[in-house]
Amino acid sequence: MAVHRDNLLEEEENEEDNALFEGDGLVDQDSDIPPHLRDLARAAQTGDVDALRYALGEMNILLFFSLFLFYYLLEILVLGI
């Protein structure tokens, strides 16, 4: 968001800065945000603390599963099990 020295907002630049958001303030489904991060982005945009906690919890589960899968595949490659 760009502000002139006289504190007036430039509408053209503001629209470009918020190109990822719809008019209602939520993430545009056609945006560049990956599907697995949309709930997190929506919760952060709306300020819903409970939804943010849930989305972060889901991210922790995905991270744990990814690390487990990586470790398992690495073990197969290294040990040949």
Q: What digits encode the pLDDT tens for the residues 17-69? A: 555 544 455 555 557 888 888 888 889 889 899 999 999 898 889 899 999 99
| b (16+ CB within 10 A) / e for 16-47 | eeeeeeeeeeebeeeeeeeeeebbbbbbeeee
Residue with tokens 């800065």: 17
Q: What is the pTM of this model?
A: 0.47
Distant-in-sequence, close-in-space partners of 45: CB < 8 Å, separation ≥ 6? 21, 25, 26, 27
